[in-house]
Structure 1
Amino acid sequence: MEPSDLRIALFSGNYNYTRDGANQALNRLAGYLLSQGAALRVYAPVVAEPDFAPTGDLVDIPNTRMPVPGRGEYRLPLGLNAAARRDLERFAPNMVHLSSPDPTGHAAQKWARDRGIPVLASVHTKFETYPRYYGLGFTEPLVEWMLRRFYNRCDALVAPSESQIAELKAQGMHDNITLWTRGVDRDIFHPCKRDLAWRRALGIGDEEAAIAFLGRLVMEKGLDSFAETIVALRRREVPHRVLVIGDGPAREWFERALPGGVFAGFQTGPDLGRALASADIFFNPSVTETFGNVTLEAMASGLPVVAAGATGSASLVDDGETGTLVREGTPESFAAALAPYCNDPDLRRAHGQAGERKAGDYSWDAINQTVVDTYLRLAATRR
């Protein structure tokens, strides 16, 4: 079987309506599949004004606004209606790829299993950690049980980091898991994109150490940890500035928590590359990410990284060489890790350059070929 023999039905809860790291990876994969001659059909919620155009043919599925406070921009897929099922039958996939354990993912999984079609699931985030950010931490064991049931009904998983694979296996999610890491666009993310004039226009001086946050402004990205760390850094009287790149429903909360912070808003493409390279240190306190696209983008932009020693970042950051991994995850420990970078331009430069060199190893085509190889392996096993 060749890649051109593949007919893949890809299911996503958010393929293109709100830009995030997961759907950027899925669209990159879709482009690579089409370039290899595979047939692809994507089933996901469709909105009137998506953040970007989809790669491949997109079929709408039933959905409603996410019933979670502050997450109204996201849609909850509600299953497969008659129209989607008819479209699936006409497309006749020989591979089903699920990227989210939502009601549509469950329905598509059953549809494929009933027909003997192999099912691959990709893991993009640590869903079991989300409840803690909405006062529902007591439900985490239940969410983990539901995820275990869903993933073990798939033929195999792909996950973006070795540390995440180890954690998934320890949780009993599956024993057949392949590494599908992430790539970075070096035409966008590169130290040469640094723009001092852009910084000055935002009120950041040339010699000031700017600590960057990059991502959607939602609580599960660690906004509370970030803000508490900056307070601790100020108590230490460490000179710095804060540069927030991104937007989201928690922006108003974040602005109140970071008085004096510079909020650059949502950036994309070359503007995003310029904003990130114009910072000096990247701080990522999130523990929900399975890879951390933003961490890799910061490394490619020549920034040293201070991050939580969680899955994802732990597979990217070489502690003491390209940045600092903080295992404790307290504001004081994060502040202690950030302070040397704020005070020492030479340390920033050395670790930033080492991170940029490491980012050069992440080629999208080679990375996406591992998913194609997994498809072919599952198809051969099923035959």
Structure 2
Amino acid sequence: MQTADLRIALFSGNYNYVRDGANQALNRLVGYLLRQGAQVRVYSPTVDEPAFPATGDLVSVPSMAIPNRPEYRIPLALSGAVKKDLENFAPNVVHISSPDRVARKAVKWARKRQLPVLASVHTRFETYFRYYNMSFLEPLVEAWLRTLYRKCDALVAPSESMAQVLRQQRMNYDIDIWSRGVDRDIFDPSRRDLQWRQALGIDDDMPVIGFLGRLVMEKGLDVFSDTIDQLKRRNVRHKVVVVGEGPARGWFETRLPDAAFVGFQGGADLARAVASMDMLFNPSVTETFGNVTLEAMACGLPVVAAKATGSQSLVDDNRSGRLITPGAIAQFAEALRSYCESPALRAEHGAAGEQRSLDYSWDAINQAVADTYIRLIRQRRTEAKGA
């Protein structure tokens, strides 16, 4: 069986209506599969004005806006129209990418027809409740996720550290790696632009601490701002640049009144913004990989990150950045102070990170997923013959 023989039904809770690292990876995967001759049908909630055009054929599933977070939608049902479309498409493998109700119905639909199911894990959903004073729900959510993932034939995780977490949580016993790549035609140290910095009122020799990502509390905005407070109390010379948008922007601006908020940036503009920083600070513990970390490394920046899934697979502590115990404000501040006060250390660790980023080729990474589809199809056919 070849990649061109694949017919993949992909279920996503957010394929393109709000931009994030997970759905950009999914769109890139679909684009690669289509170029190899595979057939792909995507099922996801849709909106009138999505964040970016969808790659491939997109079928809308019934959904509703999430209360208090209306930019996101909850898939509600595998409707009759969607089921009919699915039957007509006749996939030979089903891929779910979010643990919602429609994904669960899709797994049930596939199992009834003896089709293999692959689940990709893009974020640590169980950790989100920590940011809303509901951490007591984490064990329940973990158990709820386990019931779904054990019904799948295999999982793919974006890093070995995340795969290990999934094994420890007993989510499944067949877990492959679907890493993430970086576009080296865009992300490169040469994108650094001192004039862009100057337009923000930043001197050429001012150390810039960057934040990159969607502005939501689960990205560790509280830890980021508390750490910056510590740097101020220590009289460490620095400037903060925040790249991204989100519902917590107002809160973040209040906590960081001296920061430069440049909003959403994409493509070459994003690469310019990242390369014009001097270090990236990523305190989040919810990412399973950390696309922003890899993009910063490709631009030659040292990264100070929480010692959590994703970052641990990318950052080499004390060589290309620092890995700090999650929530350890004083340790984060000390790591950032070292980079702020030593241009030589920044350059040394940034160069090591850029070298590490060369290992991440998108085509090779996405072919690994295609190979997993093919393996699962073969296994299911072998099982059927032996039955």
TM-score by length of 2: 0.98
Q: Higher mean Cα deviation, 325-334 or 184-193?
A: 325-334
Which of residues 91, 94, 115 in structure 2 aligns to 1:93?
91
Which residue of the partner structure matches residue 255 of structure 1? 253
**Structure 1 residue 329: Cα displacement:** 2.9
**Structure 1 residue 175: Cα displacement:** 1.0
1:305, 1:322 within 8 Å by CA — same for their partners in 2?
yes
Which residue of the partner structure matches residue 160 of structure 1? 158
* CA spacing shift, 1:328–1:196, aligned 2, 3 Å: same
**Structure 1 residue 327: Cα displacement:** 2.1
Q: What SS does structure 2 have at the residue aligned with 1:147?
A: helix
Paired AA for residue 40 in structure 2: L
2:308, 2:326 within 8 Å by CA — same for their partners in 1?
no
- Residues 257-290 of structure 1, C-alpha deviation per residue, up to 9 Å, x if partnerless? 1110110111011110000100001000000000
Q: Distance in 1 between matches of 2:346 and 2:109?
A: 52
**Structure 1 residue 210: Cα displacement:** 0.4
Q: What SS does structure 2 have at the residue aligned with 1:208?
A: coil
Q: Distance in 2 between matches of 1:210 and 1:328?
A: 22
Q: Distance in 1 between matches of 2:134 and 2:357?
A: 37
Which residue of the partner structure matches residue 21 of structure 1? 21
Is residue 374 from structure 1 mapped to residue 355 from structure 2 by the alignment? Answer: no
Q: Distance in 2 between matches of 1:108 and 1:86?
A: 13
Is residue 362 from structure 1 mapped to residue 376 from structure 2 by the alignment? Answer: no
- Give the alignment of 1:300-379 within 5 angstroms: 300-379=298-377
Q: Distance in 2 between matches of 1:329 and 1:136?
A: 17
Paired AA for residue 166 in structure 2: L
- Residues 92-117 of structure 1, C-alpha deviation per residue, up to 9 Å, x if partnerless? 00100000000111111111111111
Q: Distance in 2 between matches of 1:249 and 1:72?
A: 10
Q: What SS does structure 2 have at the residue aligned with 1:253?
A: helix
Q: Distance in 1 between matches of 2:189 and 2:262?
A: 19
Q: What SS does structure 1 have at the residue aligned with 2:253?
A: helix
Q: Distance in 2 between matches of 1:235 and 1:175?
A: 48
Which residue of the partner structure matches residue 3 of structure 1? 3
**Structure 1 residue 328: Cα displacement:** 5.0
Which residue of the partner structure matches residue 176 of structure 1? 174
Alignment: residue pair count: 381
Which residue of the partner structure matches residue 37 of structure 1? 37
Q: Any gaps of 5 or more consecutive residues in structure 2?
A: 382-387
Which residue of the partner structure matches residue 385 of structure 2? none
Q: Distance in 1 between matches of 2:273 and 2:79?
A: 43
Is residue 108 from structure 1 mapped to residue 109 from structure 2 by the alignment? Answer: no
Which of residues 67, 70, 73 in structure 1 aligns to 2:71?
73
* Fraction of identical pairs, as percent: 64
Which residue of the partner structure matches residue 63 of structure 1? 63
Paired AA for residue 47 in structure 2: V
Paired AA for residue 32 in structure 1: Y
**Structure 1 residue 330: Cα displacement:** 1.4
- Give the alignment of 1:112-191 within 5 angstroms: 112-191=110-189
* CA spacing shift, 1:362–1:346, aligned 2, 3 Å: same
TM-score by length of 1: 0.99
Q: Distance in 1 between matches of 2:358 and 2:132?
A: 37
**Structure 1 residue 39: Cα displacement:** 0.5
**Structure 1 residue 36: Cα displacement:** 1.1
Q: Distance in 2 between matches of 1:4 and 1:279?
A: 42
Q: Distance in 1 between matches of 2:157 and 2:367?
A: 14
- Residues 7-28 of structure 1, C-alpha deviation per residue, up to 9 Å, x if partnerless? 0000000101111000011011
**Structure 1 residue 135: Cα displacement:** 1.8
2:283, 2:326 within 8 Å by CA — same for their partners in 1?
no
User: Which runs of 4 or more aligned residues in structure 1 lie more than 6 Å from their structure 2 counterparts after TM superposition?
Assistant: none
1:79, 1:105 within 8 Å by CA — same for their partners in 2?
no
Q: What SS does structure 1 have at the residue aligned with 2:71?
A: coil
2:13, 2:74 within 8 Å by CA — same for their partners in 1?
yes
1:244, 1:262 within 8 Å by CA — same for their partners in 2?
yes
1:303, 1:352 within 8 Å by CA — same for their partners in 2?
yes
Q: Any gaps of 5 or more consecutive residues in structure 1?
A: none
- Residues 145-204 of structure 1, C-alpha deviation per residue, up to 9 Å, x if partnerless? 001111001000000111111110001111100011000011111100011000010111
